[in-house]
Structure 1
Amino acid sequence: MRKITILGATGSIGRSTVDVVSEHPDKFEVEAVVGGSNVETLAETAKRVKARCAVVADATKLADLKEALSDTDIDCGAGEKAVLEAVDRPADVILAAIAGTAGLAPTYASLKKGRRIALANKESLVCAGQSFMKAAAAIGAEVFAVDSEHNALQQALMAGQSQDVTIATITASGGPFRTWSREDIAAAPAEVASRHPVWAMGAKILIDSATLMNKGLELIEASHLFDLRADQLDVVVHPDAIVHAIAQWRDGAVTAGLAAPDMRIPIANALGFERRLKMPYPVLDFVKISRLNFEAPDEERFPCLKLAKAVLRAGGPLPAAMNAANEVAVAAYMGGQIKFYDIYTLVAAVCSVYAGEGVRAPASVEDALAIHNDATKMAQEHLELILAKH
């Protein structure tokens, strides 16, 4: 039996993790489940997996959580301190899926000797990847990828050593605007941008997928996870969503990670350690699939990807600043304040400032959050300028 704590238990990754754990009650026991503010779903989840502890991040929801779990002996907590206390409880695996910078501190605190961090919180690597991976190595914690692309790449890279990789490629479905003209994309509202053709995800990630910023962020994650240079990483559009990552080697060999587009598959791989968990999913029928399609991403129609690649090459504080500015821009777009391409304009404006500062990469969570807060303020100022022009 392995003890697991699920951070972000009420989100899409958390729910998929609950499905995997529920398929194997003889292999996992859940120590704690942590959610944001959805008390009803958190309580239902805690009961389903028989968690010992349930924590809601919203400090005002403690009474509601206690009421929802009053017929159980599950420990309850609320607020930032309670989240960190849940992280500190005994566990072999921490599934880190709290979205946004809110997940940065809890994910960092999860690093303990002998633990596996099943990582789905992008900000830990985008905002503080260098320090996060260094800390994990020093402590003796194992960081294992959960995102479908990174998990597939992790498996593909087992065929060799990172210095022998010529190109490591992650795939993108292309999002809802893959075949749209720039003019049509420019006029599209957030509700249309949120209609992903393959994956069901959180609202913010859906917009990031539409701009292809999500793939740029994943390139930055991959560089830290696998110690790969910017020139060893690439993105290809693959609308079939069957091939999730490809590793090409200097001897001409190629290895790839393929699976049906279901997040429970990479999660099962992350939780299984050296053993594959048996899951009730059909085997891919390649005769029915018939062909696999690939195309180059159009960085003119999707300039956020081009910007993210430049940020990856530059490093320093830029990834954290870009992430913060993107959060502000996406929220404004979702709120109907700005147009689709204003997202790129705003994020690029903030990045241009940080590109000239010569600030070092964040060496700690505190450094990363400081950059995030500064860049957020700057992005909000640029947002006001954009709104004034409209």
Structure 2
Amino acid sequence: MLTDKTLSAPECSRRVTILGSTGSVGCDTIGVLQASSQSYKIRAITANENVELLAKQALELCPDFVVIGNQNKYVKLKQLLSGSKIRVAAGPDAIIEAATLPTDWTMAAIVGSAGLRPVLASIGHGGIVAIANKECLVCGGDLLSAEAERSGARLLPVDSEHNGVFQIFDFDNPETVEKIFLTASGGPFLKF
């Protein structure tokens, strides 16, 4: 669960990136940041399709870097942000570039397997990476964990099932848990 307390905890600094800022989790994250008594420097925000909302968020938050995943919407984003000093880019590689910007805290809210490479890139520079994307953890959990161990990043699951396990996990005795299996709670295989 994302809260103001989570964002303003002592180990969290003020530099933030939001990967997938126009979705529900991204919008909620922005709301928490704006309501917080802390001040945050938004390094980057990204979206795949919703260029109008992304531009609106960029003008409100003044990030260093804004990326639209759909390259066909680059010109529109550039027009909407003309006159601002915000750096604009488009495409999957630009999303990876946004994810690699050094931050203290990243919200990874890109839907589906498309989020795996950006999450991996954001873990590479350390800091806290809040992962709202269940698919990344399911498809690349071992890879993400190994990269987090290498870089010193801290992974924070935001998805309800994963966060529930995270909240009850005994971090004082991690050797007591070898693996965790989550049964299907829904999705395409619910009635399979």
1:135: Cα distance to partner?
Answer: 2.0
Aligned partner of 1:143 in structure 2 is: 155
| Offset from partner CA, 1:90-131 (integer Å, 9 cap, x none) | 211111110011111111111224311111122222112222
Q: How does 1:188-199 map to 2 (within 5 A)?
A: none
Aligned partner of 1:272 in structure 2 is: none
Matched letter for residue 38 of structure 1: N
2:36 pairs with 1:24: yes
Q: How does 1:293-372 map to 2 (within 5 A)?
A: 304=189, 344=192
* Alignment counterpart, residue 94 of structure 1, candidates 85, 94, 106: 106
Q: Partner of 1:45: helix, strand, or coil? A: helix
Structure 2 CA distance for partners of 1:106 and 1:49, relative to 1, 3 Å: same
Distance across 2 between alignment mates of 1:104 and 1:164: 28
Matched letter for residue 23 of structure 1: A
Structure 2 CA distance for partners of 1:94 and 1:45, relative to 1, 3 Å: same
Aligned partner of 2:179 in structure 1 is: 228
Aligned partner of 2:3 in structure 1 is: none
Aligned partner of 2:90 in structure 1 is: 78
> Is the CA contact (8 Å cut-off) linking 1:108 and 1:124 kept in structure 2?
no
Matched letter for residue 152 of structure 1: G
Structure 2 CA distance for partners of 1:62 and 1:234, relative to 1, 3 Å: closer
> Is the CA contact (8 Å cut-off) linking 1:3 and 1:92 kept in structure 2?
yes
Q: Partner of 1:118: helix, strand, or coil? A: strand
Q: What percentage of residue pairs aligned between the two structures are identical?
A: 37
Q: Which deviates more, 120-129 or 15-24?
A: 120-129
2:105 pairs with 1:105: no
1:49: Cα distance to partner?
Answer: 2.0
Q: Partner of 2:169: helix, strand, or coil? A: helix
Distance across 2 between alignment mates of 1:124 and 1:68: 32
Aligned partner of 1:387 in structure 2 is: none
Q: Partner of 2:123: helix, strand, or coil? A: coil
Aligned partner of 2:17 in structure 1 is: 5
TM-score by length of 1: 0.42
Structure 2, gaps ≥5 residues long? 1-12
Matched letter for residue 127 of structure 2: R
TM-score by length of 2: 0.82
Matched letter for residue 52 of structure 1: D
* Alignment counterpart, residue 118 of structure 1, candidates 130, 151, 159: 130
| Offset from partner CA, 1:32-85 (integer Å, 9 cap, x none) | 000001100101111222212111001111110011111422111111121111
Aligned partner of 1:247 in structure 2 is: none
Aligned partner of 1:49 in structure 2 is: 61
Higher-Rg structure is 1
Structure 2 CA distance for partners of 1:118 and 1:229, relative to 1, 3 Å: closer
Q: Partner of 1:31: helix, strand, or coil? A: strand
Distance across 1 between alignment mates of 2:183 and 2:26: 28
1:234: Cα distance to partner?
Answer: 6.1
Distance across 1 between alignment mates of 2:108 and 2:130: 6
Matched letter for residue 39 of structure 2: K
> Is the CA contact (8 Å cut-off) linking 1:84 and 1:106 kept in structure 2?
yes
| Offset from partner CA, 1:193-251 (integer Å, 9 cap, x none) | xxxxxxxxxxxxxxxxxxxxxxxxxxxxxxxxxx5343xx568xxxxxxxxxxxxxxxx
* Higher relative contact order, chain-length normalized (CA < 8 Å, sep 6+): 2
> Is the CA contact (8 Å cut-off) linking 1:162 and 1:228 kept in structure 2?
no
1:144: Cα distance to partner?
Answer: 0.9
Number of residue pairs aligned between Structure 1 and Structure 2? 180
Aligned partner of 1:132 in structure 2 is: 144
> Is the CA contact (8 Å cut-off) linking 1:59 and 1:78 kept in structure 2?
yes
